[in-house]
């Protein structure tokens, strides 16, 4: 996030196969649930939040992308929605592995939210609530137990919370001494460039 105001952010949606990553992105952007999505495809959405004038790039990933692609995405992002399905144990284990990869590449500072999806199918539950809490505690992040199929509220809450964390991270990075020095240097260079341009224009008009 190379900006001084929170006006743009990049969100990455990660998770195992069929956990509802596309359904989540589509629900957030269109408020709709279609129910049938192209499997295992990567898609970038650009979405402007009119009320707050914030633009989001949302990258819905394919689960079986090569490691170098997932690394590139993790390095690119400002925040991660990590999803699993409560009906699919493998997807919980996949989320644990993805968490390790994210921490290895970006450390604990990267804003994250954990989303346990498909809560409308609790009769087929394969991951306990304690396991959800444990993973969220390991990641030190908020967790949301939602059903993308049943409604929009949980999806919005998860994205809004992630935006709060990303904004906090931006403020933190802007107040770090090295960023302050870099910004001051940039602003001094800009003033010098402006003054120099003014002098050139003045000296040209003096000649004619
Ligand atoms: N019952 C139920 N089904 C859901 C929910 N969210 C998504 N699904 C269904 O789960 C299936 C997979 O959803 P996708 O959004 O394609 O999942 P994905 O994680 O993008 O899948 P891949 O990209 O193939 O890994 C679809 O049939 C969805 O309709 C939910 O909250 N409840």
Assign 179 a pLDDT band (cuts: 50, 70, 90).
low
CB 61 within 8 A of CB 73: yes
**Do residue 149 and residue 65 come from a single domain?**
yes
* Domain CATH number, residue 38: 3.40.50.300
pLDDT of residue 198: 76
> Nearest CA to 148 among 61, 85, 82?
85
**Do residue 167 and residue 142 come from a single domain?**
yes
Does 2 fall in a domain?
no
Closest C-alpha residue for ligand 1 atom 6: 20
**Do residue 42 and residue 68 come from a single domain?**
yes
Does 3 fall in a domain?
no
**Do residue 22 and residue 63 come from a single domain?**
yes
What pairing do the DSSP bridges indicate for beta strands 112-117 and 143-145?
parallel
What percent of the chain clears pLDDT 70, i.e. is strictly above it?
A: 92
Does 55 fall in a domain?
yes
**Do residue 199 and residue 118 come from a single domain?**
no
CB 126 within 8 A of CB 87: yes
* Lowest-pLDDT range of 23-27, 85-89, 180-184: 180-184
pLDDT of residue 180: 60
| Any atom of ligand 1 within 6 Å of the Cβ of 26 | no
| Any atom of ligand 1 within 6 Å of the Cβ of 91 | no
**Mean per-residue pLDDT over the chain, rounded:** 91
112 Cα to the center of ligand 1, angstroms: 20
pLDDT of residue 46: 96
Residue-wise pLDDT tens digits, 80-117 = 999 999 999 999 999 999 999 999 999 999 999 999 99
pLDDT of residue 153: 97
Task: List Cβ neighbours of 88 (8 Å cut-off, separation of 6 or more).
Answer: 16, 18, 19, 118, 126, 127
pLDDT of residue 182: 67
| Any atom of ligand 1 within 6 Å of the Cβ of 39 | yes
**Do residue 160 and residue 199 come from a single domain?**
no
**Do residue 156 and residue 121 come from a single domain?**
yes
**Do residue 139 and residue 200 come from a single domain?**
no
**Do residue 129 and residue 162 come from a single domain?**
yes
How many structural domains does the chain have? 2
| Any atom of ligand 1 within 6 Å of the Cβ of 27 | no
Domain boundaries, position 197: 176-208
| Any atom of ligand 1 within 6 Å of the Cβ of 6 | no
**Do residue 132 and residue 195 come from a single domain?**
no
Does 1 fall in a domain?
no
* Lowest-pLDDT range of 43-52, 72-81, 123-132, 137-146: 43-52
148 Cα to the center of ligand 1, angstroms: 8
pLDDT of residue 36: 81
What pairing do the DSSP bridges indicate for beta strands 54-60 and 112-117?
unpaired
| Any atom of ligand 1 within 6 Å of the Cβ of 62 | yes
* Lowest-pLDDT range of 12-21, 47-56, 125-134, 186-195: 186-195
């Amino acid at each position: 996030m190379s900006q001084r105001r929170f006006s743009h952010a990049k969100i990455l949606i990660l998770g195992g196969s069929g956990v509802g990553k596309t359904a989540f992105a589509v629900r957030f952007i269109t408020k709709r649930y279609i129910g049938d999505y192209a499997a295992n495809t990567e898609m970038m959405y650009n979405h402007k939040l009119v009320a707050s004038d914030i633009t989001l790039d949302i990258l819905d990933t394919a689960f079986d992308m090569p490691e170098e692609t997932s690394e590139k995405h993790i390095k690119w992002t400002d925040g991660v929605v990590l999803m699993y399905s409560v009906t699919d144990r493998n997807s919980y284990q996949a989320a644990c592995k993805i968490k390790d990869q994210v921490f290895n590449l970006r450390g604990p500072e990267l804003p994250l939210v954990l989303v346990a999806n498909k809560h409308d199918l609790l009769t087929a539950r394969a991951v306990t609530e304690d396991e959800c809490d444990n993973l969220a505690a390991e990641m030190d992040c908020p967790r949301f137990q939602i059903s993308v199929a049943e409604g929009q509220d949980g999806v919005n809450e998860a994205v809004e919370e992630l935006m709060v964390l990303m904004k906090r991270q931006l403020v933190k990075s802007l107040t770090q001494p090295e960023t302050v020095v870099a910004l001051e240097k940039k602003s001094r260079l800009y003033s010098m460039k402006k003054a120099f341009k003014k002098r050139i224009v003045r000296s040209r008009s003096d000649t004619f």
